[in-house]
Structure 1
Amino acid sequence: MAYLIAIVGIIVTLGLGYLLSTDRQGIKFKSIIIMLVSNFFTAWFMFTTTIGKKIIDFFTLAFDKLIEFGTAGVNFVFGGIETTGFVFMFNVLLIIVFFSTLLAIFNYTKILPYTIKLVGGALAKLTGLPKIESFNAVNSIFFGTSEALLAIKTQLDNLDKNRLYVVSASAMNSVAASIIASYMALLPPKYVLAALPLNMFSALIISSLVMPVNVPKDEDVIEIKDGAYGDSFFEAMVDGALDGLKIAGNVAGILIAFIATMGLANYLVAELAGLFGYDTNLQMLIGYLLSPFAFLMGIPASEIVQAGSIMGTKLILNEFVAILDFNTMIPDLTEKTIGIISVFLISFANFSTVGQISGTLKALSAKQAKVASGFSVRLLIGATLTSMLSATIAGLFI
C-alpha cells in the first residue's frame, strides 16, 4: 500500500508541475521520461544494489576521514576550550572552513571544472537538454546558489526567460559542497549523498515541466567561467579558507536569528491558542497543513504531522534550522520517514534563497534580475516540488 501511495504522490507532484507550466505545448516529454527513469535507477542503484551501497559507504568513510582532519584543525585552534557533548559551532560550522579550502584546491587545479564539464556534456546527451542547463545542473551539485550562477555569468544575458528559470531552479535545488559535511554530521550520510544526484534530475524534471526550453542546435553553445581561486596554490587555499569562514559565520548568524524567531513565533501562537483552550504552536499548525503532502511522499500516517512541521520549517526558514529540529526527532521515527525527510531537506529550496537568487542576478545582470522577479513564486513552488519528487522516489527504495 505504501508503494502505491508513493506512486500516486509522484504523479501528483508531476501533475502540479504540469499545472504550473507556462507552455504545456512545449514540454519535451521524452526528456522528462528519460530523466525520471534515470532518477528511479539512481535511487534503486544506491539503496538496493551491493555496488551502490559500497559506493555510498566509500564516500561516507571518505567524508568521515576528511571530517577528522577538519576536526584536528578546529581542535588546534580551540582545543583549550572545555565543552560538554556536541557543540554545533565546533563540530559542524567550523568544519566548513576545511571543506571550502578543499573545494578551492580542486577548483584551482582544474580537476573540478573539467569533471563538471565532462559530466555536464554527458547529461546533455542523455537528456536532450541544452548544454548550459546541463552544465549548470552538475555544477550546482558542488557550488552554492550564487557560485553556480556566477559560473555562467558570461551567457546570462543570452538566456530567455525559460532558460533562466531552469538554471535558477538547478541552483536553488543544490547544496554547496563546502557544507555537505555539516549535513552529514546531523543526518544519516547515505541520504545526504543520495539527495545530490536525485535533486539534479528532479530539478531538471520539474523546471522542464514548468518552463520548458527549446534551443536550436546552432545556438546551443556554452562558455564557462572556471572561477579558479587565486593565482597560486597557496593563495587558493587562503581564499578558500576565508570563504569557508565567511560561510560559517553567515550560517551561524542566520541560525541564531531564525531559531530565536521561530521560538518566539511558537510561543505567541501557543499563548494565543491557549486562550481558546487549544494546545498547539506554529510548527504544529504547519505540520497539519503539510501533512497530506508528507503522506503522499510515503511517510507513515502516524508520523506525517511531525514530518510536515519539518518540511514547513525548511520552506519558511531554511534547511539548517529544519535539520537541527529533525535531528532531535530521529530516534523516535521509522527509517522510512528518516530517509524521506533527510532527502527532502538537502536543498536550498526556501523563501530566503529566492531573494538570494534575485540578489545574485541583480549583481550580474540587471535585465535578468527583472525577468527573474516575474517567476519568483513559480521558482519557490517548483523547488518545493523538486524536493518532494526526490524524497518520494528515494522512499520507494528505503
Structure 2
Amino acid sequence: MGILLGLLAIAVILGIAFLMSNDKKNINYRGIIIMLLFQLLTTWFMFNTKVGQWIITKISEGFNKLIEFGSAGVQFVLGGFVIQEGGGGVFFFNVLLLIIFFATILSVLTYIKVLPLIIKYLGWGLSYITGLPKVESFNAVNSIFFGQSEALIAIKSQFKQLNDNRLYIVSASAMGSVSASIVGAYLGMLPAKFILVALPLNMFSALIVASMIAPVKVPKEEDVVDIQDVSNAKSFFEAMGNGALDGGRIALIVATMLIAFIASLELVNWVFAALFSGFTLQQALGYVIAPIGMLMGIPMAEVLDAGAIMGTKIVTNEFVAMLEFQGMLDSVSEKTVGIVTVFLTSFANFSSIGIIAGTVQGIDSEKGGKVSGFGLKLLVGATLGSMLSATIVGLFL
C-alpha cells in the first residue's frame, strides 16, 4: 500500500508541474523517465552499498577543507569580531563572505582549463542521457558541490544565451541544491544516509520538475558551451583578482536582498499570527502540506508535525527546520525521518529567491529582474522537486 501511495504522490507532483508548464507540447518525457530511473537506481545504491556513501562523504570532506581555507581569510580580516553560534553573523561571515573564496577558486579553475573540461565532459554526459542542453546539465551537476550562488557564477558567461525557460531551469537547479561545503553541518544534525542520498536525488528532481515547467529545445548547432569567453584573465593572479571582485560584488548584493526578503517575511508572519490568534504561517503550511505528505509516505499521526517542519523550511531556511526536526527524531518513525530529512536538504525556501535573484542581478541586471519576476514559481517548482526526492526515498523505507 505504501508503494502505491508513493507512486500516486509522484504522479501528483509531476501532474502539478505539468499544469504549471508554459509549453506542454515540448516537454521532454524521455529525459524525465530516464532521470526517474536514475533516481530509483541511485537510492537503491546509496541504501544498499557502502561505496555510494563513501564517494559522497569524501567529496564533502574535500569541500569542507576548502571552507577551512576560506575561513582563514575571513578570520584574518574580521578576527576581532566575536561570533556567537546561532547568531545572524554566522551566516554572513561563514557563508556569504566565503562566496569570495569560491568565486576565486572557480575563476582560477577556469583559467587553468579545469572548469571548461568539466563543462565539456560532465555537461555533455548528462545532456546526452537526458536530452537537456549542455549548460543546464553542467549547472545541475555543479550545484551538488558548489551550491546556488557559486554554481551560477560558474556559468556567468553563458547567461547571454539563456532565454527565460533556460534561465528558469538553471535557477531551479541552484535552488534545489545544497552546497557540499555545508553538508558536514547537516550531518551533525540529521541521519547521514538520508543527507547523502538527497544530494544526487535533488539534482535529478530539480531537472525533472523544471524541465516540465519550462521545457527547452535548443537546436543541435546551438547547443554548445562557450568556454572561450569564460575567463578574460591574462595571468593566474589576474584570474584570482577577477574572481575575488566578482565574488565580493555578488556577496554584497545577496546580503542586501536577503535582508529585504527575510524582514518582509517576518512582517507577514506577525500579521498572520495577529489575525488568526497566534496561528503561524508555518502551522498553516503544515495543514497545506499534510495531504501530499500522507501520499509521500508519512504516517497520518505524524503528518501535521512533519508538515509544519517542512513549512518552517519553506518560510525560513533548512537550518532552522533541521534544528527543530532534530528534537523530533526519537518520536517519529524512520520513514518520517527519511522523508522529511531529504525534503529539508535543499535551498528551496523564500530567502533563496533573494539569493538567486541577487546573484543573477550581479551577473546580468536584466536577467536578474526576470528571476525576481518568476521567483514564486521558482520556489513552487523547487519545493515540488524536494517532494519528489523525498517520495523516492519513502519508497525504499
Alignment CA distance shift 1:373-1:184 (3 Å):
same
**How much has 1:321 moved relative to structure 2?**
1.4
Inter-partner Cα distance in structure 2 for 1:187 and 1:88: 21
CA separation of 1:25/1:266 partners in 2, compared to 1, >3 Å: closer, same or farther? closer
What displacement does 1:370 show? 3.5
The equivalent of 2:326 in structure 1 is 327
The equivalent residue for 1:223 is: 226
Amino acid across the alignment from 2:123: G
Query: Which amino acid is 1:395 matched to?
Result: G
Aligned to 2:225, the other structure's residue is in SS state: coil
Measured in 2, the distance between the counterparts of 1:52 and 1:64 equals 19
Deviates more, 1:98-107 or 1:137-146: 98-107
**Which residue in the other structure is 1:80 paired with?**
none
Superposed CA deviations along residues 199-245 of structure 1, whole A, max 9, x for unmatched, are: 11111111111110000011011024768999779x97xx99xx89x
Offset of residue 258 of structure 1: 6.6
Contact 2:120–2:225 at 8 Å: present in 1 too?
Answer: no
- Offset, 1:53: 5.1
2:328 partner SS: helix
Partner residue, 2:202: 199
Cα distance change of structure 1 residues 169 and 62 upon mapping to structure 2, 3 Å threshold? closer
The amino acid across from 2:223 in the alignment is D
Letter in 2 for 1:304: V
1:160 aligns with 2:163: yes
CA distance in 1, matches of 2:141, 2:275: 47
Q: Cα deviation per residue 1:279-336 (whole Å; 9 max; x = unaligned)?
A: 9655333322221121121111111111111111111111121112112222222111
8 A contact 1:108–1:229 mirrored in 2: no
The separation in 1 between residues aligned to 2:191 and 2:101, in whole angstroms, is 24
Shift of 1:164: 1.1
- Give the letter aligned to residue 316 of structure 2: L
Whole-angstrom distance in 1 between the partners of 2:86 and 2:281: 27
Query: 1:16 maps to what in 2?
Result: 16
1:388 equivalent in alignment to 2:387: yes
For 1:305, the equivalent position in structure 2 comes to 304
- Contact map agreement 2:64 2:180 (CA 8 A) in 1: no
- Cα distance change on mapping 1:51 and 1:228 into 2, 3 Å: farther
Contact 2:106 2:154 in 1 (8 A): no
Aligned to 1:79: none
CA distance in 1 between counterparts of 2:307 and 2:234 reads 44
| Residues matched between the structures, number | 391
1:349 to partner: Cα distance: 1.0
Contact 2:119 2:135 in 1 (8 A): no
* 1:188 alignment partner in structure 2: 191
In structure 2, C-alpha distance between the alignment counterparts of 1:92 and 1:353, rounded to whole Å: 13
CA distance in 2, matches of 1:219, 1:188: 43
Question: What is aligned with 1:78?
Answer: none
Deviations 1:232-268, CA, capped at 9 Å, x for gaps: 79x97xx99xx89x98xx99xx89x979x87x99898
Of 383-392 and 176-185, deviating more is: 176-185
- The Cα offsets for residues 345-386 of structure 1, whole Å up to 9 and x where unpaired, read as 111111221222222222222332343344223211111111
Cα distance in 2 for partners of 1:353, 1:170 equals: 12
Name 2:124's counterpart in structure 1.
121
**Offset at 1:269?**
7.0
Q: Which runs of 5+ in 1 are unaligned?
A: 75-85
State the TM-score, normalized to the length of structure 2. 0.78
Alignment of 1:287-306 (within 5 A): 287-306=286-305
CA contact (8 A) 1:21 1:209 kept: yes
**Does the 8 Å CA contact 1:57/1:190 hold for their aligned counterparts?**
no
TM-score of the two chains, using structure 1 as the length reference: 0.78
Distance 1:107 1:202 in 2: 28
Checking the alignment, whether the CA contact within 8 Å between 1:157 and 1:368 is kept in structure 2 is no
Structure 2: which amino acid aligns with 1:165?
Y
- Which amino acid in the other structure matches residue 159 of structure 1? L
Q: Are the aligned partners of 2:286 and 2:306 in contact in 1 as well (CA < 8 Å)?
A: yes
Q: Are residue 364 (structure 1) and residue 363 (structure 2) matched?
A: yes
**Distance change (3 Å), C-alpha of 1:92 and 1:188:** farther
Cα distance, 1:175 vs. partner?
1.6
Take 2:235 and 2:320, find their aligned partners in 1: how far apart are those partners?
37
CA separation in 1, counterparts of 2:94 and 2:165? 37
Q: Distance in 2 between matches of 1:318 and 1:71?
A: 22
